[in-house]
Amino acid sequence: MSEQQHVEFGWFLPTTGDGEYVGIPPQRPASPEYLTEIAKAAEHAGYEFVLIPTGGDCWDGFVVGSWIAAHTSKLKSLVALRPGLITPVLAARNAATLDQMTGGRTMFNVVTGHYPQDLKACGDPLYDQHDARYERTLEFVKVVKGVWEAGDAKDGGFNFEGKHYLIEGGSCQPPVLQQPHPPIYFGGSSVAGKKTAALTADVYLMWAEPLQWIRSQIEEMKDYLQELEREQGIKRTLRYGMRAQVVVRETEEEAWAAAWKLLSKADPELIQSREKLHAKTDAVGQNRQMDLYHQSIQDDYVIAPNMWAGLSAIRGGGAVAFVGTAKQIADRIFEFVDLGVTSFILSGYPHLEEAEISGRLLMPVLKQKMAERGLVKQD
């Protein structure tokens, strides 16, 4: 990295349930009690935040985030939200309310959405218009930030006229607690996604891929940032984040056995149906994940040292896993830190036990490495 930055680690909150195996229906349904257990385990393990997902059958992120804040002391919530499911002014007000209610323990992950079937099921009229969804997302974030800045609208509020939104006198009460605003995380591997991120994001999120693939994505983002400054006079900087699974054990043999166990009860018909679902997406990031999966079949889905794509056919999104001992995984993670990645969102099945295991084995090694490099956050 060109400069010393704090490296943060978050955990995933499975609001659709989970279990010891993937490729079969969740063995543990989501419940307030189970999600609380996971959140508390993540906080105890040393994770700074939990990602609360959106889309599909996910529980409402704002409600879950409020619940989690009430049952933890320091843990932050990274609440995912989709522009196609909520108006930007309402999103801004909900977000500001959560920011105030949690004492600033709130961040937001804006998700454009990529499965046409899911988008249609939620009533998104842009379900089959990839670039238009990113165009709308750009307007959405502009309105959210504009309303946050306008506050109580004493000066006339925020006005905006775009292709997708018309706002007159937009206001936000309560005001956001964090200044200038809560952090916004955003991902998108297409040209439209990257250009939207360059204009709107604080943290650009990527799904785990081999080092060279991630290096190329970061270089592309830097090119778009330079283009933005050159052509529009807008100077922005980004942090970079990565979403990955993790299977850490005392020995590498135990870790690989645990990884393959996850697939040991997978239903072949479900795998085929999921592959067909992934094939229908217009998301470049998901297609990249499936490319890794298919390219690595002959290598037992090993795509790089201690990196495994075995879950990609079943689990959409960030399915690539770090597999190995704590030292091996920490070494791999810090190879990405050296590229400039400073935010890692990890998860494992089942999320409760894997939060505890990673907290006991992996997090102490990561914290030691951060301390050695001066990457520990100063309170």
Q: Under a CB-based contact definition with an 8 Å cutoff, are residues 176 and 93 in contact? A: no
Q: What is the pLDDT, as a whole number, of residue 315?
A: 80
Q: Which CATH number describes the domain made up of 8-373?
A: 3.20.20.30
Rg (CA), the chain: 20
Q: Under a CB-based contact definition with an 8 Å cutoff, are residues 95 and 76 in contact? A: no
Exposure string (b/e) for 219-235, b if CB count within 10 Å is 16 or more?
Answer: eebeebbeebeeeeeee
Q: Under a CB-based contact definition with an 8 Å cutoff, are residues 240 and 341 in contact? A: yes
Q: Under a CB-based contact definition with an 8 Å cutoff, are residues 143 and 160 in contact? A: yes
Q: What tens digit of pLDDT does each residue of 96-134 get?
A: 999 999 999 999 999 998 778 888 888 989 988 989 999
When the pLDDT of each residue in the chain is averaged and rounded to a whole number, the result is 92
* Helix or strand run (H / E) with residue 108: strand 106-110
Q: What tens digit of pLDDT does each residue of 29-55 get?
A: 999 999 999 999 999 999 999 999 998
Mean pLDDT over residues 256-267, rounded?
94
How would you classify residue 80: left for phi > 0, otherwise alpha for psi between -120 and 50, otherwise beta? Answer: beta
Q: What is the pLDDT, as a whole number, of residue 278?
A: 60
CA 10 to CA 24: how far, in whole Å?
26
Q: What is the pLDDT, as a whole number, of residue 2?
A: 42
Q: What is the pLDDT, as a whole number, of residue 10?
A: 98
Q: Under a CB-based contact definition with an 8 Å cutoff, are residues 252 and 328 in contact? A: yes
Mean pLDDT over residues 173-196, rounded?
94
Token code pair at residue 41: 């385990």
Confidence of residue 277 (pLDDT cuts 50, 70, 90): low
Domain spans, the chain? 8-373
CA 145 to CA 68: how far, in whole Å?
25
CA 302 to CA 309: how far, in whole Å?
6
Q: Under a CB-based contact definition with an 8 Å cutoff, are residues 157 and 169 in contact? A: yes
- Using CA atoms, how far residue 361 sits from 15, 225, 267, 323, in Å, is 25, 38, 31, 13
pLDDT at 373 over 60: yes
pLDDT at 200 over 60: yes
CA 50 to CA 71: how far, in whole Å?
13
Mean pLDDT over residues 60-80, rounded?
98
- The pTM assigned to this predicted structure is 0.94
Mean pLDDT over residues 204-223, rounded?
96
> Of the ranges 15-19, 142-146, 154-158, 207-211, which one carries the lowest mean pLDDT score?
154-158
pLDDT at 295 over 70: yes
